[in-house]
Structure 1
C-alpha cells in the first residue's frame, strides 16, 4: 500500500504557511519545507521563515538546517525529505510538504532520478567559475540557446540550477526539460494529494508589497548586513536569493535603499508569476484561490480533497 503524502504548493505570499499549519493541526500532520531558502540559518526575515508562534506546535523540518555557505540542492532536499517522511510515518502522522520551489516538489512527488558526475565535476566547476568572473547571465544565455523551455522556469541568478541543466546537456546531449517531462510521466510512489494555493494576481501583488514593507520594518536590512559581516559573500547561492541579492548593490554604494526595496518588490512579483506558470505547466491537483474563499472553507475543501485522494486520516485533533 502506498504511503500518504500531502503537498501544498503555490506562489510566494499567497498564504501557504498559514493554511498548511491549519491543515496539519486538523489532521495530525507534520510539515517538511520545500523552500530552497528557508533551509539556511540566519536568513529569517528575507525568507519569510515560519516563526515559533506561527508554527503553533506543529513540527517543521528542513528549516534552519544548513549554513548559508553549505551545499544545498534538489538532490539533498530529496534525500533528507524522504528520511523525514519515514520518521513522520513512523509516528502515525502524515507528512505535509510545503513550498514554492516547484522543482523540489516535483522531484519528491515523482521520486525523480538525478544524474551526477562521479569523480568529475570539472564542467560544473568551470561553469561556477565563469559565473563568478563574467556574471551568471553568461550561463543563462547558454541555457536559453539549448533549452529555452527549462530556462523559462528558473532565474538567471540561480547558478546551480542553470549549471545543472547545462551539465546534463553536456553529459547526455539531451535537454533537461525533456528529462523532467519524462520523469513527470512516472506514477508517484505515494498516495499523494497535491494542493496548489493561489490568489487573484492583483491581490497577490498587493500582499507582496505589504510583505516587503513589513520585512523592512522587521529589520531585513540589518539581517543582510549581519550575513555580510559574518563573511557570507554575495556570490554564494544563498546570498543570491530574493531578499538578499537586491541589497548587495546598496551596501556596495551603487544604489539607494529606496531603489533596492523597489527592486525587491519588482523581483518578487516576477518570481510569483514564474511560480504560477510553473505549477500550471507541471503539477496536477486541487487549485484553491484564497482570494475567493475564507480560510475555514479552504481548509474544509483541502480535507475533503485529501480524503478523495484515498488518504485515510487519523482522528482529527480538534477544530483548527
Structure 2
C-alpha cells in the first residue's frame, strides 16, 4: 500500500531507445498498482504507431497507458503543452491511489515536468515560423543556430542543431517577447517541484548490444509495415511531426527516388543509433538517475528486481 506524501511520488524510467523502458515500466506498474504515462515526443501522434514503437495492447498487459496516440501530427505540440497535460495526468492517477510511472526517452519532457519548469507564454507567430523554416530548408539548420547565437548563445549551445522546431521556437520566443529562452528557463526554475521522483535509467555494459537491439528493432518495424505507414503519414499535408521523426524522414528520399530501400533502412538504423547516443549523453548529466547496467548474462527478472529496490528505498510503500 502506498503512503500519502506531501509530494507526489513519481517513477521515471529513462534511457535510450530500444533499451526496454516500456517493458520495465509495465512490470513496475504491475507490482506497484501503477499506471504508465508516456514521455515520448513522437508517440503522442496519431497514425505514427510502428515507427515510434508504441506499445501494443499485449505489451501493455492491462496496465492503463496515458498520453499516447492523441495528437494531430500536423499541429504544433510544445514542451509546455506536454508538461501541462502530464501534470494533470499525474495528479489524476495519484488521486485514485495509483503510482504514476513516467516512461520515455524525451529528456526535455521529463526534466521540464519533474523540475516543475514554468513556461512563460510567448505569442505564436505563424508567419515568422514559416519564414524561419524556409530559411532552414534553403540554408540549412546552421543558419538558425547562427541567428540564435547572436542573442541567446546558451540556447544555441543547448539545443540540438538538427532540431529545427526547437530552434525556430527559441528565435520566435525572443522575437515576440523580447526575452530569451535562456532567461525564461532561469525564471521558470524558481517554483519548487511538487514531485518526489525516483528516476531509473537503463543502459548496457556493451554499447554494441544496444546497437544490435536497435538494428533488430528497425528490421522488425519494416516487417510490421513501417514502409506503408510512413507513406501514409508523409502524404498528409503539413505533417511536420513525421518530417522530424526518425523512421519517417529517412524514407522520404526513397519515396522520391533518391535512395534505394536498403539505403533508407540503413540510414534509419544509423540515425537511431546516433539518437540513442544523444539520449544517453543527456540522461548521464542527471545525477538523480539510478542506473541499471545490463549485460548479456542478466535476465529481465533481475532488471525488475533492481528497479524495485530503488523504488522501495524511497519509503513510499508500507505493509
Aligned-residue Cα RMSD (Å) equals 2.6
Could you tell me which of 56, 63, 69 is aligned with 1:51? Answer: 56
Question: Deviation string for 1:32-52 (max 9, x for gaps)?
Answer: 000000011111111011000
Question: Deviation string for 1:33-75 (max 9, x for gaps)?
Answer: 0000001111111101100000010111111101211221211
SS at structure 1 position matched to 2:75: coil
In 1, are the aligned partners of 2:120 and 2:184 still within 8 Å (CA)? no
Could you tell me which of 33, 39, 63 is aligned with 2:68? Answer: 63
In 2, are the aligned partners of 1:14 and 1:290 still within 8 Å (CA)? no
Using the TM superposition, name which of 249-258 and 7-16 deviates more: 249-258
Mapped to 1, the partners of 2:26 and 2:210 lie a distance apart of 20
Task: Identify the residue that residue 120 of structure 2 maps to in structure 1.
Answer: 115
Quote how far apart the aligned CAs of 1:260 are: 0.7
Mapped to 1, the partners of 2:199 and 2:247 lie a distance apart of 28
Using the TM superposition, name which of 253-262 and 148-157 deviates more: 148-157
Task: Identify the residue that residue 92 of structure 1 maps to in structure 2.
Answer: 97
Summarize the Cα distance change of 1:266–1:153 in structure 2 as closer, same or farther, 3 Å threshold. farther
TM-score by length of 2: 0.87
Could you tell me which of 190, 196, 199 is aligned with 2:201? Answer: 196
Could you tell me which of 229, 232, 244 is aligned with 1:226? Answer: 232
Quote how far apart the aligned CAs of 1:128 are: 3.4
Task: Identify the residue that residue 78 of structure 2 maps to in structure 1.
Answer: 73
Summarize the Cα distance change of 1:12–1:277 in structure 2 as closer, same or farther, 3 Å threshold. same
In 2, are the aligned partners of 1:10 and 1:99 still within 8 Å (CA)? yes
Q: Does 1:306 align with 2:298?
A: no
SS at structure 2 position matched to 1:282: coil
Question: Deviation string for 1:90-126 (max 9, x for gaps)?
Answer: 2110110100000000011011012232476665454
Mapped to 1, the partners of 2:56 and 2:79 lie a distance apart of 24
Q: Which consecutive residues of structure 2, in runs of 5 or more, have no partner in the other structure? A: 1-5
In 2, are the aligned partners of 1:127 and 1:139 still within 8 Å (CA)? yes
Using the TM superposition, name which of 160-169 and 116-125 deviates more: 116-125
Mapped to 2, the partners of 1:219 and 1:80 lie a distance apart of 30
Mapped to 1, the partners of 2:234 and 2:216 lie a distance apart of 26
In 1, are the aligned partners of 2:15 and 2:280 still within 8 Å (CA)? yes
Mapped to 2, the partners of 1:210 and 1:148 lie a distance apart of 39
How do residues 160-309 of structure 1 correspond to structure 2 at under 5 angstroms? 160-168=165-173, 170=175, 171=177, 174=180, 176=182, 180=185, 187-200=192-205, 201-229=207-235, 231-233=236-238, 236-282=240-286, 284-291=288-295, 293-309=298-314
Summarize the Cα distance change of 1:4–1:53 in structure 2 as closer, same or farther, 3 Å threshold. same
Q: Which consecutive residues of structure 1, in runs of 5 or more, have no partner in the other structure? A: 316-320
